[in-house]
Amino acid sequence: MKAIQILKNGGPEVLELRELPRPAPAEGEVLVRLRAIGVNFIDTYQRTGLYPVKLPYVPGMEGSGTVEQVGTGVSALKAGDRIAYTNIPGAYAEYSVIPAGRAVILPDNLDFRQGAAAMLQGMTAHYLATSTFPLKKGDVCLIHAAAGGVGLLLVQIARMRGARILATVSTKEKAVLAREAGADHVILYTEKNFEDEVKSLTEGRGVDVVYDSVGKTTFEKGLNCLRPLGTMVVFGQSSGKMEPIDPAVLGAKGSLFLTRPILGHYIADRKSLLFRSGDILGWAAAGQLKLSIGQTCALSEAAEAHRNLEGRKTTGKVLLIP
């Protein structure tokens, strides 16, 4: 089978298209013929070595496709089932083996591209808005990178939950997408100081929660945007690794809360996985949640997909098609 493999850490150029043996499912596993593969920032972190992985390595944590073969002991799935999954490495390939218990069945009216677009970023947005800081009517949130894959979904879920949404984006084109998703106020951080804008829009009170996937360039100002007892949720670092923070700073700025959540902890068991994926896929199937696919590339163009993602040239979801 064709697959993208990393032999050494580095830039997008280290993503090599290679011919590898097709894997076979062991007990409790299924072989999936992938039809769409999600591209996520975690893939770039692993490629560069920011998140160390054992090399050689096939990147990719998310995909959708059909079950090709089931291993012994698997009864809940059969060949031909349409499934999606996330948080299992090895997705940048034509075939992947995954534990049967990590697969979810796609609704009939969602295609493979929608399935791959929904899982990692959709469930990330879900846990952020429903668990890490459970938004409720009247809460005010600040969402950075609001036109990105997680951002557009998080804006929509925040809207469902009745929150007032302040969003930051880098271009006027992205601002349109954030508004269409439901943002009440969109701030172009390339033109205005978002800290000043947030304080003006909240009459100096600040927001209840900041959802920050950018990290290094937004973190400090984001803390200044919070009300006393507000919560900073850092779930990514697309602009680079943040400097360490003295906990005393959180006290001085208003007894703030700081958390760095990871999706894996929120879908650690099958019940949690089915809860979050059921909401996301169900909302998408019912038309309540729009899955925005901004770019699709052939599997062989994985390097280009990474360049565009890291260059902030993408909106919505980026997919590879085997």
- Higher-scoring residue by pLDDT: 168, 242: 168
Query: Given pLDDT bands bounded at 50, 70 and 90, which one contains residue 259?
Result: very high
Which helix (H) or strand (E) element contains residue 270? helix 270-285
**Phi, psi angles (nearest 5°) of residue 196:** -65, -40
pLDDT (average), residues 124-130: 98
State residue 322's pLDDT score. 96
Share of the chain above pLDDT 70, in %: 100
Beta strands at 29-39 and 185-188: parallel, antiparallel or unpaired = unpaired
Superfamily of domain 136-260: NAD(P)-binding Rossmann-like Domain (3.40.50.720)
Query: Given pLDDT bands bounded at 50, 70 and 90, which one contains residue 63?
Result: very high
- Number of helices and strands in the chain (H, E): 10, 15
pTM: 0.93
Q: Give the DSSP letter of residue 279.
A: H
Neighbours of 221 (CB within 10 A): 16
Task: Say whether domain 2-120+264-321 belongs to CATH 3.40.1210.10.
Answer: no
Structural domain boundaries in the chain? 2-120+264-321, 136-260
Query: Given pLDDT bands bounded at 50, 70 and 90, which one contains residue 314?
Result: confident
pLDDT in tens, 134-166: 999 999 999 999 999 999 999 999 999 999 999
53 pLDDT more than 90:
yes
In the three-class reduction of DSSP (H, G, I as helix; E, B as strand; rest coil), residue 202 is classed as coil
